[in-house]
Chains A and B, each alone.
Chain A
Amino acid sequence: MELEKTISRVLRLGVGLCFILLGFGLVPSILKNSSRLDFYKDFDPLPLADSVQFYLQQKNWTILSCYIALGILILLPFFRLLIMGVGLAKKKELMMSSLSFLVLFLLILSTVLAL
């Protein structure tokens, strides 16, 4: 299959999955018409690990599904670069494949630096 088509399919699949998970997570909030945005007037971020642990203890599956959806969405560009790197290597286009992996490395580096 052509590389462009493979990337297109992966992106479509990822966005579709996110859409379902976000929909599941937001339905209760929409039905309750809750206004939770008021909490975020002041900046006091709780790290991701602590937030997830808190919601796991609360068994708040709707918020957790939103977290999963957002996580998938953020990881989509990483997957896209990985597919490109592998796809181009298979076509023996080693220079472009190396560039794809270099960009992927830079993305991972940004994550490590943030940690």
Chain B
Amino acid sequence: MISLLIVISLFAGILGSLLGLGGGIIIVPTLTLLFDVHIKYALAASLISVIATSSSAASSYLDQKLTNIRLSVFLEIGTVSGAIVGFFIASYLPANILYILFGFFLIFSSALMLRKREESSNIENHSWNEKFKLNSTKDYPISHLPFGLATMFFSGILSAILGIGSGIFKVVAMDAAMKLPLKVSSATSNFMIGVTAAASAVAYFIQGQVKPEIAAPVCLGIIIGSQIGTMIMPKIKTEMMRKIFVIVLLIVGSKMMYQGIKLWN
């Protein structure tokens, strides 16, 4: 059983690092639907796995100088504040609502993953960029910073409620609204999801919702998987993987919503 969980987490780690996600959207359905673990334990384990993915992959991205650490600190103010609010909301939400919310999030994420990502050449630099010197060592403008900060706040809330890094929202906000280069968006999002997850993970850890029997095999698999993902990244066509992943998300999302409705009745 534990070996199987390590293997699935390993694949989650590979997919997560290839697609720029935390892996939580694979771990939670696996633990609840396949291993019959209560959703609250699954969410806590997933948050720890997000920190594992972030810390493991961030070191490579930092070496490649893709991560904008100054921008990440600025946006983390929004995301950590949101995670604190989200932690208290999550404490009052029953399991059936969590299932339905997670299912909805998976289906919504699949739609976001299908959108076309384009580089833009005509970008207006926001005044806060100069004020905070957010890209003093980089040569690209940053647009719509207040909108980006607000999006990070809501992604922080989602992170705590759903046990995810909400990397998909961060990437979309940085990519589509703030007009950052694609690789910088993914690397900076990856850097940030660890801090977002840590904001509520500490609380879950102290309260005893993080069970080592669940979280340890998940993290072990994720760490190995994200390293493999970083290695095979140059050799694989991520577009095809993205399409397969969207189908998987739609199926699993629908199943989780069904599970939530079943619990309701």
Binding site for B on A (CB under 8 A): 3-5, 7-9, 11-12, 14-15, 18-19, 22-23, 25-26, 29-30, 33-43, 45-48, 50-51, 63, 66-67, 69-71, 73-74, 76-78, 80-81, 84, 93, 95-96, 99-100, 102-103, 106-107, 109-111, 113-115
Contact = CB atoms under 8 A, between A and B. Distances in A.
A11 B198 contact: no
Contact of A15 (B87, B216, B223): B223
A63 B69 CA distance: 35
Contact of B59 (A11, A37, A42): A11
A76 B195 CA distance: 9
B11 interface: no
A78 to B, nearest CB: 7
B48 interface: yes
A42 B211 CA distance: 13
B201 interface: yes
Interface of B: 1-3, 5-6, 31, 35-38, 40-41, 48, 51-52, 54-56, 58-59, 62-63, 65, 67, 69-70, 73-74, 76-77, 80-81, 83-84, 87-88, 95, 132-133, 194-195, 197-203, 205-217, 219-220, 223-224
Contact of B206 (A29, A30, A111): A111
Contacts of A76: 51, 55, 194, 198
B208 A47 contact: yes
Contacts of B36: 37-38, 41
Contacts of A5: 62-63
Contact of B194 (A47, A67, A77): A77
Given A29-B213, A45-B40, A78-B198, 11 more contacts: A8-B62, A9-B59, A11-B59, A15-B223, A34-B2, A37-B31, A40-B211, A41-B36, A45-B208, A99-B73, A100-B73
Given A36-B213, A73-B48, A107 B219 contact: no
Given A34-B2, A110-B199, A15 B194 contact: no
Nearest to A105: B80
A43 to B, nearest CB: 4
Contacts of B31: 37
B76 A110 contact: no
Contacts of B35: 37
A89 to B, nearest CB: 13
B80 A114 contact: no
Nearest to A35: B1
Given A37-B214, A95-B132, A77 B87 contact: no
15 contacts: A11-B56, A15-B223, A26-B216, A37-B1, A37-B31, A37-B213, A39-B213, A41-B38, A46-B208, A47-B208, A73-B219, A76-B51, A77-B198, A109-B84, A113-B87
